[in-house]
Each structure stands twice: as C-alpha cells, then as structure tokens.
Structure 1
Amino acid sequence: MEANEDLESNVGLHVQGQIPDLLPLSLALTAESQAQSQRESSDTEVASSATGAIASGLCLGSVQSSQDSPTKGIKRKSDFEENNDDDGNVCPICLSEWTNSGKHRLVSLRCGHLFGQNCIERWLQIGCAPGQKRCPQCNEKANSSHIRPIYARKLVVIDTTEIDRLREKLDEITTIKSRLQFELVHANLSRQHLEEQLNKLKQENKELKTSSLSDTNSLPSIPLSQNKRLHMMIRANEIICKEGGCRVLAFNEWLNLLVVSQCSTNRLFSGYGIRKINALDFRPTQFAFLHQKPIRDMTFQPHQNKLLLSVSLDRCAKLFDMTSNSVVQIYNADNPLWSCCWDEGNPYKFFAGSQNGKVLEYDTRRVGDLVGRAVEGGDTSPVVSLASFPPSPGRALSRGGFFACRLNSCWAYELQDDGYSSQLLPFQGPFFSLFYDKSTDHLLVSSRPSERFPSTRHMLHQMIQSNDSSNGQVCSPVDTFSGGNSQKLLSRPTLMSLQGGTMVAAHDESSRSVVVWDVASRLRLYKHQIQESVVDLCYFQVNTSQYLANLTEKNLQILEFK
C-alpha cells in the first residue's frame, strides 16, 4: 500500500478506491482476452473509431458491453456516475475501460496522457510512421520506453483553480507584508535617531537655562563704569561659500579690506583662495585663487601693506599682491604648513609652522631659499599658531623673536647672533591657539579640556620687564577665563581694546556662542548665540567704529560695538 502511495505522488494523480482481489481480476482478464480477439478481427473499424476520436479531440463516453466487457463480474456504476466519471476511466484509443493489471492496464506517456497498455503499444508500433511516433492526444514525440504503468483503478481530476488563486493571493499578501516590515524597521530607526536628537537638544536647552540663571553677567549690556555702557549689534551677516571650506580671517587697515579664506566655487579651478570683503559696507567682492589645498593661516605684511602671506596644506607659502591680484612669490616646504607670521624686527623675513613641529624661516630677498628651522623638545606635533614680537630694550626677550604654539607645548624664541635661543613657556596643554597683542604686550594662550582641567581655558599673560626676569620667566599671568567642557575645533580667540579696556573674545562650543570677557573686571560681558561653530575671530577698527568678525565654515557675521 505504501508503494502505491509513492507512485501516486510521483505521477501527480489523485487515486480513489481499492485495488480489487486477484480472483475477480483473473475472470476479468479472461473476458478481456476474448474481447481483444474480437477487436483484432475488426481492426479497420476500431482504427476508424480511434482516428475519429483523435481528430475531434473529444473524450467519448465509455462503451458498455454485457458480453465483451473486461470488467464482467464487477458491480456496474450508476448512470449518474458514468456521465460524470467516464472521462477518467476509458482509453481514448479503444474507448474501453482500462484496468490496473493485464494487457490493457492503465499506463501513461511522458507527456502525462493515459491509455491502455496494449492500445498505446500498438499505436506506436503500427499506427505511426517510422520516425514519426507521437502521442495520439497532444502529438508530442513518444516511443515505447516512455510508457509508464499507473497503479490505480479510478482517476479523479481535482479542480485546483481556487487553490491556485488563493495561493497567488497569499504570495501577494506575503510580498506586501515583507515591504511593510522593511518600512517599519526604517521608521523605527528614524524615530530612534530623532529621539536622540531631541534628548540632545533638551540637554543643551537645560544647560543654557542653568547658565543663564547662574550667571547674571550674560545680559546684553554691562556698565564698564558709572557713566559708560557698551552695546553689541549685528552689523552684517553674509554667506561666503555655500560649500563650506572657510577657515581664517585677515584685516588690512590701510586698504579697509577684510580677507576670508574659502574653497573655490569654480569647477574648472578646484582648490582654495581668498574672498575680499569691503570693510565699509561688508559686501563680498573679488575671489582670488591661491592654493590647491585648504589655507591654514594668512597675514598682511606690516610694512608693505599690499602683500598677503598665506600658507596651506599643499606645502606652499605664497605672497599675494592685493592691488594686482597676482601671486608674487612661492616658497615650497617638505610638509604641510599650518601657521605663519611676519618678523616684527625684519620686514623681509617671515616664519611658517609645519605639520611635523618645525618652524621654517624664509627671506623674501632670497627666492625659494630656506634660511633656518627650529624644532624643540622632541615635540613633533603641528605648529598651530605663530606670533612675532618686536625688540624692546626694557622688556624680557628684549632682542625680539617669535612665539610658537604646538599642540603639546608653547615656546618663546629670542633672536641671537647665531640664530635663536628657545625657552619653554609654563603653560599646561593641550593647546589650540596663541595670540599676541604687541600694543599691550599681552599673550593669550588657549588650551583644550584635560583630566586636570575639565574645561576650556584662555590664559592671559603679560610680558614682564627685563629687571623682573631674574628667575627666567618671560611673562606673568594676568587671569584665566574658563569656557565649556568641549573644544573639538582649532578655533582662534582674539584680544580686543574697547574704550580703554582689554577684552577676550572666544567661541564656546558647549553653549554655541561667542563669549566676551572684560579683563579689568574679570567678568563675562556678552554671550552671543550662534548656531554654527566659529573657526576664527578677528577684531578690527574702521574709522571710529569697532567690529568683531565671526567666521564659520560658510558664513561671516560682523558684530559692531556701540
């Protein structure tokens, strides 16, 4: 019985009924043999009937014979059952019922059509021309080796139309479900990201509220004296470069010109250059291409005010003529350059700080020649800031020189007959900026948060007189102004002289604001909110007006003091 079920599954048919006992089948085979002899005597009639059945493509009803029936002795079906089931019980060649054993047993071809065994064998041997053997039902090529026995008595074709339709509907619903599940996962990730941003904004809002409540010095104006008040207003807000790439500012007081470094917006000339800003109306004017890579620092020549010195990560220092809009000289280096300054004691020399910690000295009278270099204490971190100080007989470091601020250490270099002598400054790093104001001899050094100092610090020092430097110190501390607990960018703070007082201006990343401290009162005067991170601050004067320029990677904002 298990073998029968396996064969049924292999041919893909549904079987009903039981295989009859052998004794009734023996009687049926005897009757079949007699009926076959009679059919052979009238082959012409049978062939004619088979040909008619094939040509018409119809499955005729079973032919009943009380004398020649091969199933004599087996109970006949009712007329209702014959009319509904005879399509699956008769051989389409002889139109007689097939059996499950004997010569007229149920067989099939490879194409799947069913016949009596001896009928299909004779059809393939006699009814077809040599080499043209085909199935009488579908005309597909066939031969005797394609005949397969079917172990069944009664065949019933199951209508699977509704099942197939439901299966297609199920596949469609499964596809929709998979798509919805993917969209749900994507929506959950987006929701999680938005929740993180919301929590971050809530935390920043809480910190701002706490800072505002705890510090009464964050008012928009604070009296400097009993008769003076200082106000700050936004004078201009210009988009310099939508693509970003702005880094440093420089002001030319003789030309009333503010210069901003930015990336080139011309697709044919990719790289970096400068944008000129008229300091009278603060409108961007010309763009001049200079370097292939970002500009890290630039400064005007203090004696020849039309010359602009710029250094870049493309290992070049260039002199640019502002009047002719052309590059005058190019100086190459072995490493990317991060900072520069002119020598206050010699108008022909300038210094350039490199990425590997070296300070390079150049002379404009010797084109392309390197005059000297300085490396101290094994500190090979980039030189982020350079500032030159002039000779002064009554002050420490009286012969003049320059300050060099690396990421890990700050040094003072004094000019000597055979070069420069160096001295380590007593500041705690890591550092990100150094600014020197020669009008007040103030030195502003800014350091990042560390384990020892968890907040950003802006340390203001005063260069001491020569008679006070017996212990080897070159500067004395004035005050330290603390910022936030985050400082990722190498932003550049600055010193300002307002109404006879000195002020410190710096960007605070934690509160996203520009903060101004008064040195005399040691109080914070302003906290100007700005959404983008400020990379450079530049204080300048035009006639009697005083301004503070805030540069981000895309925008330039001008604040005016009243």
Structure 2
Amino acid sequence: MQDNENMELEEQDGADEQEEPPGPSQGTSYQDDEDGSTCPVCLEAWTNCGDHRMCALKCGHLFGHKCILRWLDVQTKKCCPTCKKPVRRSDLRFIYAKKLIAVDNVELESLRVQLETALAQKNSALQNVSKYISREHVLKAEIEQLKRRVQELTSGCKATDLKLAVNRVRLYMEKNLEICSKNGCRDCKVFDISVQQDALLVTSRAPSDLFGAFGVKQFSLSNYKPIKFIPIHKEPIRDMCLHPTVNSLVLTVSTEKKFKVTETHNTSSQSVSLDSAPWACTWNPRNSNEFFIGTQNGTVSLYDLRKIIEPKLSLSVLGDFSPVVSMIAIQEPSGSDIIVAARLNAVWAFECYPDGSFNRHILPLEGPFLSLRYDKETKQILVSSRPNKNMPFARHTVCHLEKTRDPDLISCNTVYSFKGGSTAKLLAKTSCFAPNNIVAGHHETRKSILLFSVNTGEEVGSCPTNDNLVFDMNSFETPGGDKFLTYLNERKIEFFKFNVA
C-alpha cells in the first residue's frame, strides 16, 4: 500500500517536472469560475477545517493543507507548485474563510488610475488659479499707482510737490460759540452757513423753557455775534438747509412729522404735515422753487413752493422701507436731475426726467450709512459709513458718478476710501469737503477730525474734538480768502482756520 502511494507521488512529480503548473497569467483553468473553491493540486474543493483546509504559502498561493504537505515531502527542492518560489513548512498559514472567490478588478483599477489623473489635473488647476490671484493683486496695486499718477498729472504738479504742499496744512482754533448751556443736550444737531448773507444758522431749543419750541439760532459769520432765535417746530429738528440762492429761506424737517419753509427776515413760514416723519431735506439746484424731502418710510418726495400741499413726484424703492438718512441733488447738463438718497443700508440714485418719469439705480457701496456730501467743483460725492461685519472701521469714501447709455445705468467709481474709527455712535454728518481738495472726517477712536488729501490719499493733518461728539461738519471760505473748517458738538460750534504756508 505504501509502495503504491510512493509510485503515484513519483508519477505526479515526474508530471510536474515535465510540465510546469500554469500561472495565473497563462489562461488555463486557474482562471475559471471554479478556481476560487478548488485546490490546484488535487482539483478538489478545500474545506474550512480538517486535513484539507485551506492554507497559503509565503508567495500568496492557496492549497489544501494535506496536498501541499504531501507535495513538500516528495520534493527535494522545496518550492511552490505554482510559482516555484522557495517554501518552508513554517511559511504555511491557514486561511480562515468559508469561501474565497477572486473578483475581477480591472475596471476598478482603471477607474483608480483615472481618479489619480483627475486629482493631478485638479491640483495643477489650483496652482494656476493661485498664480492668477497673485497676479490680480499685483495688477490692482499697479492700477492704484496709475490712478494716483493720473491725479498727479491732472493737478499739474509732481507727487513730491503735492506731498510738500499738503503736509504743510495746519489748523488753528479761531473761535467757539456756545449754542446750548445744558449738559447732555443733543438738540443742536445741524447747522448751515451762508457767506453771502453773513449768516450762520444752528438748530437749537428755545433759550427759554417758557415756549418750549425748537428752531434755529442765527449768528453773524464775520464777528460771531448772535442775532436772533427763530422758533419753528414744537419738536426737535432733524435736518436743515438754507436756500442756495435765496439765503433768507431755510428748509427744516422735524420729528413732529412736519417740514417747514421759513423766511428768516420776518419768521413767516409754510408748514406741511406728513404721514411719516421726515429725516432729510435738500433744495433742487435746477429749480429754486423745488426741494426734496426724505422720510422715515424710505420715500423721497419733490415739492414746489408755489403748490406746497401735495408732492409733485414721489420716488421709492419697492420693498425697501428703511429711512432716508441723507440726500444730495445733482444737476445734470443733459436736463435730468439725479437725487442720491442714502438709506440706512443702501444708496440709491434716482434719475428724474422733465416729463416726470425716473429711473432708480443702486450704487455699489457698503453701509450702514451716515451722510452724503457733494462738491460742485470736482463733481465728487463723499459718503460716510459706519463699521460693519466686513469692515470693522468707519469709512469716508470719495467717489464720482458714472453714467452709461447701453445699458442705461448709473454707478459710482471710488477714488479713495479713508478709514475712520472703530466706532460711530451717532447718526450724524461726520465728514465734509474742505478747501485745497481735502476731505475732513471724524475719527472717534483718535478723538480727532482727520484731514485727507484727495490727490494723494494720505492723511495731511488733524484737529482735536473736545468731547469727541460731532453732529455736523462744514467748511467755508470768506471773501477775504480765509478758509475755515467748523464742526458742531452737543454744546458748541467750533471754528478752525486753515493756515497753508
């Protein structure tokens, strides 16, 4: 019996020496569907226990345990029946699996290669995007330099000359006028100046509590002496503006939901009640009889002195009912008028046509907004804004309007944006244009009014604010050539004189 087994093993060994077992790449039955469940030596199914349980060699090929032992016993050169790599008995490892089936992963490998290629392409694209972003920053810096250069050339002097000129700007305290003697009184919020009429008008409470009225105090601009108090409203005045040509007319809006046009010489007035409290007002530069009123519900209305009861035109934005905090009116040579209205969180430009129609355009500026100013000589707009979540500081932005006809659009181009303080506690007019192409803006953090050059974008001077409260700010030039910056706090109006060497 033992001899017969030895003869069978020798015959099997001889057959193995004559013909090598087919490898996995030779396309034999090793690739068949049954290959995952049969022993390649005896071609019988292996088991998960017993003497024919499945085991693996170091090279990874699988066999029945008794078959591989018998193979190794009869081989002089111990090797794997499949790949002929050297084998030791200690290399045998049992495989604890009920059934082993090989999965065709050619498609999976192909997809993996495609994924790696796509990832490589993505990384290359991201690197290119990073390069383009860096290039964009460089180009923006070059554009800003070119803008400054254009402004320098336009002004007709070199950059060094500009810097020398603006750096010599100094402000000196000329005078301060007490408007209210009460501490904590915030009834004095707005003032306006008429150099032609030698008049300074400041909103205030009546000097005597007997009448309990609110109006304007009139001072002489040349000698700073008080002239008279003109009672106008029963509640505090929110905004005021003198007529641009008829300086004896003053337009005021009050929290009592009324606006009035008052003649300062004889204190006569025309009064109109509104459904919503008016917040801002301005005269129409094209027509001396017309003016605009901005209300708490976001409506801008055009009124005429000759028929003041009803508005001639109402401008509104569908869905936006935020208050109008400030307005400016711009006269266009084409015959249309542009009303720029700053609401709390948006600035709208209304283009009004002679036939009564209008178009509205939102300007690309970030709020919340405080005030608007307009310089007729340079045709620039000054927009003051509070800090927001994107900009943790107040801003005083100089820009000018741009009009296009195809498409019909009004936008604005920013010249410079000057930083203010990290806070802006009051809803007030905290900036203005000043002589010599300078912008003055309140900086609460530094407790000062800073001066910036519109030519170079640099800070060129400052003046202190005593109690760090600024309700309104303005500048003017006397007939003698003296230039002043003046601002209003809760008790006084202070005058600073420019001294340019």
TM-score (norm 2): 0.63
| Equivalent-residue separation in structure 2 for 1:234 and 1:496 (angstroms) | 19
Counterpart in 1 of 2:373? 435
What amino acid does structure 2 have at the position aligned with 1:386? M
- 2:398: which partner in 1? 460
Aligned residues: 333
Deviation, structure 1 residue 298: 1.0
Partner of 1:414: 351
Kindly indicate whether the alpha-carbon contact (under 8 Å) linking 1:223 and 1:230 is maintained by their aligned counterparts in 2.
Answer: no
Amino acid at match of 1:459: T
Give the deviation of 1:497 after TM superposition: 4.5
Residue 445 of structure 1, aligned match among 383, 387, 390: 383
1:241 and 2:180 are equivalent in the alignment? yes
Q: Secondary structure at the match of 2:169?
A: coil
CA displacement at 1:538 relative to structure 2: 1.0
Which residue does the alignment assign to 2:112? none
Q: Classify the secondary structure of the residue corresponding to 2:409.
A: coil
Residue number in structure 2 paired with 1:115: none
Query: Does the 8 Å contact 2:487/2:493 carry over to 1?
Result: yes
1:520 aligns with 2:455: yes
Residue 404 of structure 1 is aligned with which of 318, 341, 360?
341
Give the alignment of 1:362-381 within 5 angstroms.
Answer: 362-381=303-322
Moved over 6 A (4+): none
Q: Show the counterpart of 1:56.
A: none
When residues 294 and 348 of structure 1 are mapped into structure 2, their CA distance, relative to the original with a 3 A threshold, is same
Kindly indicate whether the alpha-carbon contact (under 8 Å) linking 1:412 and 1:423 is maintained by their aligned counterparts in 2: yes
Is contact 2:301-2:311 (8 Å) kept? Answer: yes
Structure 1 residue 230 corresponds to structure 2 residue 169: yes
Counterpart check, 1:327 vs 2:268 = yes
Alignment of 1:63-462 (within 5 A): 224=162, 226=164, 229-243=168-182, 244=185, 245-324=187-266, 326-393=267-334, 399-416=336-353, 417-462=355-400
Query: What letter matches 1:445 in structure 2?
Result: V
**Structure 1 residue runs without a partner (length 5+):** 1-221
Counterpart amino acid of residue 440 in structure 1? T
Which residue of structure 2 aligns with residue 505 of structure 1?
440
Offset, 1:272: 1.0
Change (3 A) 1:286 1:223: farther
CA contact (8 A) 1:539 1:548 kept: yes
In the alignment, is the contact (CA less than 8 A) between 1:492 and 1:506 conserved in 2? no
The whole-number CA distance in structure 2 between the counterparts of 1:466 and 1:424 is 14
| Larger gyration radius, structure 1 or structure 2 | 1
Amino acid at match of 2:181: K
Cα offset, 1:438, TM superposition = 2.0
**What is the CA deviation profile of residues 210-235 of structure 1, one whole-angstrom value per residue up to 9, with x for unaligned ones?**
xxxxxxxxxxxx98554673221111
- 1:100 counterpart residue number: none
Amino acid across the alignment from 2:210: L
2:399 aligned partner, one-letter code: H
Q: Secondary structure at the match of 1:472?
A: strand
Q: 1:537 offset after TM fit, Å?
A: 0.2
- CA positional deviation for 1:536: 0.4
1:227 to 1:318, Cα distance in 2 relative to 1, 3 A: closer
Displacement of 1:297:
1.0
1:556 pairs with one of 479, 493, 496: 493
Tell me the equivalent position of 1:214. none
1:362-392: CA deviation from partner (whole Å, max 9, x where unpaired): 1111132222322214221211101100122
Any gaps of 5 or more consecutive residues in structure 2? Answer: 1-159
Distance 1:431 1:486, change over 3 A: same
In the alignment, is the contact (CA less than 8 A) between 1:493 and 1:504 conserved in 2? no
| Higher normalized contact order (CA 8 Å, seq sep 6+, divided by chain length) | 2
Maintained 8 Å contact 1:495/1:502 = no
Matches within 5 A, 1:539-554: 539-543=475-479, 544-554=481-491
Percent identity of the aligned residues?
30
Tell me how far 1:554 sits from its aligned partner: 0.8
Q: Secondary structure at the match of 1:231?
A: strand
Q: 1:458 to 1:503 in 2, by over 3 A?
A: same
In structure 1, distance between residues paired with 2:248 and 2:316: 31
Give the C-alpha shift of residue 253 in structure 1: 2.3
Which of 464, 474, 485 is residue 529 of structure 1 equivalent to?
464
Deviations 1:324-347 (A, max 9, x none): 2x1331122112111000111222
Q: Tell me the secondary structure at the aligned position of residue 473 of structure 2.
A: strand
